[in-house]
């Protein structure tokens, strides 16, 4: 895993930790929730990209 692929995971962990420890106001919770959601979607997208790349490499090696 490259360093830039770990950034969304670390960012969502940091945002979730801040949300739990600091207890922001209700308006700020929406921003934190959107941030966490965006970082999770980015992480899932990178994981799917890695899986499809792996399948492509396996198919190429099989032939």
pLDDT digits (tens, 9 = 90+) for 18-51: 767 777 677 777 877 787 788 778 878 877 888 8
pLDDT score for 1: 63
Around Cβ 12, how many Cβ atoms within 10 Å? 19
| pLDDT at position 61 | 73
* Predicted confidence band of residue 54 (pLDDT cuts 50, 70, 90): confident
Q: Which residue has the higher pLDDT, 20 or 52?
A: 52
Distance between CA atoms of 24 and 9, rounded to whole angstroms?
Answer: 21
Domains in the chain: how many in total? 1
Range of the domain at 34: 3-62
């Amino acid at each position: 895993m490259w360093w830039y692929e770990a950034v969304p995971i670390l960012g969502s962990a940091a945002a979730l930790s801040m949300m739990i420890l600091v207890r922001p106001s209700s308006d700020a919770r929406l921003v934190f929730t959107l941030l966490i959601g965006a970082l999770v979607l980015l992480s899932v997208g990178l994981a799917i990209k890695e899986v499809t790349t792996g399948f492509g490499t396996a198919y190429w090696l099989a032939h």
